[in-house]
Amino acid sequence: MSFTIRKAKKEDMPKVLSLINQLAHFENEPDAVEVTLQDLENDGFSESPAFFCFVAEINSKIEGIALGYFRYSTWKGKTVHLEDLMVNEAARGTGLGSALLDEIVKFGHELGVKRINWEVLDWNEPAIKFYKQKGATIKEEWRVVHMDEQSIKNYISKL
Amino acid sequence: MSFTIRKAKKEDMPKVLSLINQLAHFENEPDAVEVTLQDLENDGFSESPAFFCFVAEINSKIEGIALGYFRYSTWKGKTVHLEDLMVNEAARGTGLGSALLDEIVKFGHELGVKRINWEVLDWNEPAIKFYKQKGATIKEEWRVVHMDEQSIKNYISKL
């Protein structure tokens, strides 16, 4: 099966949002997506975009996305963060996921970053196996911490 | 004890780097810091800075830092990421850590972000207790994944 990978355009965002929703559903957080189509269109295509995105197409139809942005490690400097790597269910097993990860690694390598980082659910064993095969390391000791919108409000109200 | 918190200036970076090194040492990764003073000065004070930083001073001496940057959640939009919250060992227990976290939460709240995120080591129980008291949640299921510089090179060489 042949596919092409290219940078996402503004007009791809409806399909990108659909894949974001599909991924949130898979991650058991179907109601977590508050981002709107307009947010994606504004945030990704402004003068200083908040994210970058690649799309993978089969027969001119978007079947996968790799969306990321830059972070800053006080150890390694500028890094690439892969926020979402998602392949449409119907297109699994076609090598699209690998090809999208290739694109992200090439992108980071060209920019000379010393690290590419992302996050994975500990029960998503196929993904963990895939990432390890690709040379990534699961940082077992580190935990992700979130202060959500309500907690921020509570925090502020107590100051 | 009285202290002041302010935005970091370029000339604060030597002290900031010293605290970054102190934190890496505490985290059992004393050799992990590849970032140089020049990197910090360039990356944090360019036209589009890669990070922001607050410093806490006691008697005009920097005793703590909170350094962060923006991320982009495909669920919540723009978020604030707290990369390093560090208080000089001699100034622990003075409330400086709390005051620096206050500053980050205020900063995020003023910008209207729906999430503030950071990472913590699972054995750093005092930090975890502190963050939970402040209303943050440890995302137990999520794992941090890194592809380091050598793995990026290996990956590229196999393409």
Short-list A148, A59, A52, A41, CA closest to A96? A59
CB contact under 8 A, A116 and B83: no
Find the mean pLDDT for residues A101-130: 98
Short-list A1, A34, A105, A60, CA closest to B145? A105
The answer to whether the pTM exceeds 0.90 is yes
Q: Given A39, A128, A148, which is nearest B115 (Cβ)?
A: A148
Question: What's the pLDDT tens digit per position in A26-61?
Answer: 999 999 999 999 999 999 999 999 999 999 999 999
Q: Given B145, B147, B156, which is nearest A119 (Cβ)?
A: B145
Residue A93 banded pLDDT, cuts 50, 70, 90: confident
CB B75 within 8 A of CB A35: yes
Cα separation, B130 vs B94, in Å, equals 14
Chain B residues with CB under 8 Å of A46 CB are none
CA of B22 vs chain A CAs: smallest distance (Å) = 12
Strands B4-7 and A142-148: unpaired
Residue A2 banded pLDDT, cuts 50, 70, 90: confident
Q: Name the residue of chain A whose CA is nearest to B116's CA.
A: A147
Determine the pLDDT at residue B86. 97
Determine the pLDDT at residue A38. 98
CA of A60 vs chain B CAs: smallest distance (Å) = 24
Cα separation, A97 vs A112, in Å, equals 23
Determine the pLDDT at residue B93. 86
| Cα separations in angstroms, A139 against A101, A119, B115, B147, B152 | 19, 10, 22, 10, 16
Domains detected in chain A: 4-157 (3.40.630.30)
Q: What is the mean pLDDT of each run of 10 residues along chain B (159 residues)?
A: 93 98 94 97 97 96 98 98 96 93 98 98 97 98 98 97
Determine the pLDDT at residue A5. 97
Chain B residues with CB under 8 Å of A32 CB are 75-76
CA of B46 vs chain A CAs: smallest distance (Å) = 13
Q: Name the residue of chain A whose CA is nearest to B44's CA.
A: A72
- Output the average pLDDT for chain A: 97
pLDDT score of A1 more than 80:
no
Chain B residues with CB under 8 Å of A70 CB are 50
Rounded percentage of chain A residues whose pLDDT exceeds 70: 99
